[in-house]
Structure 1
Amino acid sequence: MDASSKPTCHIVKPGHAYDGKQGLSYFQGISAETVGAKGICMHLLTMPPGAEAKAHLHENHETAIYCLSGQAHTWYGDRLEHHVILHAGEMMYIPAGVPHLPANLSNAPCSAIIARTDPNEQESVVLLPELDGLVAV
């Protein structure tokens, strides 16, 4: 193996944003697209007041969220029948295949670091439009 094909470390500054299928804008971070990651994706999300994602799931990948500031409401379950509020300093785990819909119902931005076991930024996102009307946000 020559030095040019040897894995190396990378610093990523989340300056570039992209619009996710879920309807939110993410700051690009660690992913297959940015650094050639093989098993993880991590990015920064800031939801402005009133922002709401589309109902979705990540088919075969787990998600871990650390809320940096603000708070986010998340409805989850087969019919979005469960509800939690994630506050700054708390973490949330979403198993693979669990439908969920996050929203910022406050009047302040909510920022979080999101990590998934899918190295691709959007590959495992499955939109669930049939669930979008179930929650009165």
Structure 2
Amino acid sequence: MATETSPATCRLVRAGQNFIGKQGLTYTPAISAESVGARALHMQLVTIPPGGRAKAHKHASHETAIYALCGTSCMWYGENLEQHMQINPGDFLYIPADMPHQPYNPSSSESCVALIARTDPNEQESVVLLPALDEKHGPAL
């Protein structure tokens, strides 16, 4: 891990150990404050299993950019998760800071995988769970 006193340099990073985030999804970390000393961004993969759904959440003060690699996912978003969209492989998605959202996988057989970049170098630090919105669109899948 890079430290504050380490000189900045280019780093090759191998995917880290998968973990389950506060949102309830599986993440594969790569670029972060922890792995390379990043100060303003992180990058990782997210996998949503067939029928899987994240807990409703937002990222306090941080923007998110997503590139869908495989599988189709959907997302409820907005102050009361009143808006909906579908994200297909090859789509780019922007989520502004503090936007409530709840991604899910409508497929019963195929996982969806996406590359995530966020302006928070510490992936889980800015996650704010929104339990009052979790059941808005039915019980967890």
Partner of 1:111: 113
Q: Which of 120, 123, 136 is the equivalent residue of 1:121?
A: 123
Counterparts of 1:54-65 in structure 2, within 5 Å, are 54-65=55-66
How many residues align? The count is: 134
The yes-or-no answer on 1:79 pairing with 2:80 is: yes
Mark the runs of 5 or more structure 2 residues left unpaired by the alignment: none
Q: TM-score, normalised by structure 1?
A: 0.94
Q: Which runs of 5+ in 1 are unaligned?
A: none
Question: Identity of counterpart residues, as a percentage?
Answer: 54
2:12 maps to which residue? 11
Tell me the amino acid that sits aligned with residue 80 of structure 1: L
RMSD across aligned positions (CA): 1.1
Deviation, structure 1 residue 5:
2.5
- Structure whose residues are more often helix by fraction: 1
- The one-letter code sitting in structure 2 at the alignment partner of 1:130 is A
Q: Provide the residue aligned with 2:44 in structure 1.
A: 43
1:72-124 alpha-carbon deviations (Å, 9 max, x no partner): 11000010000000000001000000000000111211010001000001000
TM-score by length of 2: 0.91
Structure 1 stretches (4+) deviating beyond 3 angstroms? none
Measured against aligned partners, the alpha-carbon deviations of 1:22-70 in whole angstroms (never above 9, x if no partner) come to: 0011001100011110000110112110111000000100000000011
